[in-house]
Amino acid sequence: MKRLFAVLLIQTLCLELLSGQRVFNENTPRNFTDTTGKYCEWDAWGYNNIPEYLCTCNNLDAAKTTQTNALWPSGSLGLNLSGAGLNKLGVWDGGRARTSHIEFGGRVIIMDSGGTLSAHTTAVVGNMVAAGLLPNAKGMSFAAQLKNWNFTSDNAEIIAAAPDLFLSNHSYATTAAWTNISGQWYWYGDSSLHPTRDWKFGYYDNRSRIWDSVMYANPYYLMVKASGNDRGAGIAPGTPHYYWNGTAWALSTTIRDTVGPYDCISTFGNAKNILCVGAIPVQPSGPTGNINTLSFSTWGPTDDGRIKPDLVAASGNIISVGSATDSAYAGLGGTSIAAPNVTGSLLLLQQYNHQLRGTYLLNSTLKALAIHSARRCKPTLLGPDYECGWGIPNLNKAALCLKDSLKHKVIEFNLQNQDSFEIFVYLNAGDTVKSTLVWTDPKGITAAPVYNDTTLKLVNDLDMRLLTQNDSLIRMPFILNPANPSAAATTGDNFRDNIEQIIATNLPSTWYKVKIKHKGTLQNNLAQKASLVISGGQTLLALPVTYLKFTAEQKSAQEIQLSWTTAQEINNKAFEIWHGTSIETLKPIGTITGKGNSNRVNAYVFSVENRNGFAGTQYFQLRQIDFDGEVSNSRIISLEPKFELSLYAIAPNPFKNEFTIYYSTSEKTTVSIFKMTGELILSEELIPMKNGSHKINLKDLPAGLYLMSLQHGNERYYRNLLKEQ
């Protein structure tokens, strides 16, 4: 009996353990939320039957992953950035956020009537702007205002709202490949385009084209897009599923591909100008070692071989604002939560730049800063990859690029058609120089749906090179090979991406040159806005003035007009105008005050006058002087006088009896001598010839001052003459 009782007791205990009746109680719950807001659910019985739980991560750890917290009040940089006062942040999502939540404090505004209350939207918005009443749910720009749209009519709303936004978040994607609806699998590919793989992966669609166009037309607006969660999606071979047969959903057991691992970002995640964001696990102590993306986070390349995603950020069931009540919190994962981490963080860079300089950054500059300062997922490998893109944002380093202008240069410029832009860098032995170029490219061409359309989508192909002072090539930018997507980046001519980066180290000590030019012709012959971030080297000699043009035009026989415009001026005190009849004889002839610091286009005009006309080729140069006394030179331009009469000299002057006029003319020219009272004394004709001379004898005139004129068509030259005793 005792043995039977013991067996029954063991069986009962085993059943209780299996059923959980004995172990799940107030001390060992099935799930719980701790005082920080972290939500945990029982996962398994661990060693010695100690319960193990899966728990949500938190927004604070997500901020630590991107080091956004370094920019907050009491952060390591000593800044006070929160997004306060900025109403330049937008969200398009699958519904509306719970605007009455205590974390929002009236700072979230619903912009359209569409959409129902959405837990997804509420969490995404919370990731960006939650006040942090629950510290672990604090948003990246925790005091900013935010505008919320439902994504139903996103394109029209984006076009209308873009001029008033700096950033917007888009954590949604096209339905692609595998979807389970009410327990039934659906395949959303098109078997007429490819029987087993969805054509939408890597495809540059109509929404991609529209979004690229919007950002090109609104150069201070950057859209941030979640890369998607489709990687690894699939079903067991032979599993029944529905597919579209052209007219209706039909049941099939055809074996179709599991998604990925590469080329699995769908449609508008492949737009050129967006910032496409994948997902990695949270790194509460900051990223260390090699970091892999989460299993679902989608990888590039695009069909034409471009690098996507651009960046990766923290995800993995992040605690954020919940929609159930005005004080609820909930977990959300996927790339949906990684993207707003980046969106909200980048708004702080706009706020910081305005504090430093009173200006805001171009969308290409904001993107360049995020990419330039990013930490690679595989730090032993240089360059980007198709898994993490350019790496994990480091907002600490991005802010330092703005703050420390001695070690870092952030330059916005206009590249003119058929022109180039240069910046000089001095390197000491052992220095590493890193330069990142980004431009917001005009919209690409959207092809009819086709599987794997490799047509290049880049319109304006800019090229960055690191050169010696005499233009010998030192380094080219990184480039990836879409035919071998797992291969490490190499260097070469990147003809696909509107992002280029060069890293060079261990070069001899001397000056180097970063040169940017373009292939072919810029679209419509219009200048292309571009952004350059350079770090490294002992000294960076940035051009303090970015010239759009510098020209000389002869307005009359006695006047040449110089015109120039600038796109950017940094610390510009004045322009000094130099003139000569050769490069060797250039000398200063005048000064015009500069604009100090300006990111606007400024126009200048200066007239060079010579009452005796201009003989031979004329040379001009601008010498820019900054407030520290540093000088930089423009290019030298020249002008060949277009008038037929050239007066080279009158010699001697003063004279005693006679003097000689040295001239060139192809038409009739009259020389006249007047007393200073205006009385005509003498009038003679010059013989038309090149390099001629003509003597004038005035020995019978008394000593004194006289006036000579040369009449040539409608032009008249004057010269004072002095007759000595």
Judge if 285 and 432 occupy the same domain.
no
Judge if 171 and 216 occupy the same domain.
yes
- Domain assignment of residue 241, yes or no: no
At which of 379, 401, 423 does a domain end?
Answer: 401
- Domain assignment of residue 180, yes or no: no
**Helix, strand, coil share of the chain (percent; to 5):** 15, 35, 45
Query: How far from 328 is each of 57, 108, 122, 126, CA to CA, in Å?
Result: 16, 16, 11, 11
Judge if 343 and 388 occupy the same domain.
yes
Judge if 216 and 299 occupy the same domain.
yes
615: amino acid identity, one letter: A
Judge if 617 and 673 occupy the same domain.
no
Per-residue pLDDT of 27-62, as tens digits, reads 678 776 666 555 556 766 766 676 766 655 688 999
- Domain assignment of residue 561, yes or no: yes
Judge if 461 and 585 occupy the same domain.
no
At which of 592, 620, 639 does a domain end?
Answer: 639
Q: How confident is the model at residue 254 (pLDDT cuts 50, 70, 90)?
A: very high
Judge if 49 and 6 occupy the same domain.
yes
Residue 56 CA to residue 39 CA, distance in Å, equals 5
Asked if the peptide bond before residue 652 counts as cis, ω within 30 degrees of 0, the response is yes
DSSP per-residue codes, 11-78: HHHHHHHHHTTTT-SSSS-SEEE-TT--EEEEEEE-GGG-EEEEE-EEHHHHHHHHTGGGGSTTSTT-
For residue 563, how many other CB atoms are within 10 A of its CB?
A: 13
Token code pair at residue 7:
């067996």
Per-residue pLDDT of 98-120, as tens digits, reads 999 999 999 999 999 878 999 99
Judge if 613 and 657 occupy the same domain.
no
Judge if 471 and 441 occupy the same domain.
yes
- Domain assignment of residue 304, yes or no: yes
Judge if 73 and 155 occupy the same domain.
yes
| pLDDT score recorded for residue 644 | 61
Which CATH number covers residue 590?
A: 2.60.40.10
At which of 639, 663, 690 does a domain end?
Answer: 639
Per-residue pLDDT of 362-394, as tens digits, reads 999 999 999 999 999 999 999 999 999 999 999
Per-residue pLDDT of 197-251, as tens digits, reads 999 999 999 999 999 999 999 999 999 999 999 999 999 999 999 999 988 899 9
Q: Is the pLDDT at 2 greater than 60, yes or no?
A: no
**Structural domain boundaries enclosing 117:** 60-175+205-229+259-401
Number of domains in the chain: 5
Which CATH number covers residue 349?
A: 3.40.50.200
Is residue 361 within 8 Å of residue 220, measured between CB atoms? yes
Judge if 613 and 654 occupy the same domain.
no
Q: How confident is the model at residue 20 (pLDDT cuts 50, 70, 90)?
A: very low
State pTM to two decimals: 0.73
- Domain assignment of residue 190, yes or no: no
- Domain assignment of residue 481, yes or no: yes
- Domain assignment of residue 197, yes or no: no
Judge if 266 and 412 occupy the same domain.
no
- Domain assignment of residue 196, yes or no: no
For residue 358, how many other CB atoms are within 10 A of its CB?
A: 9
Per-residue pLDDT of 511-550, as tens digits, reads 888 999 999 999 999 999 999 999 987 544 446 787 888 9
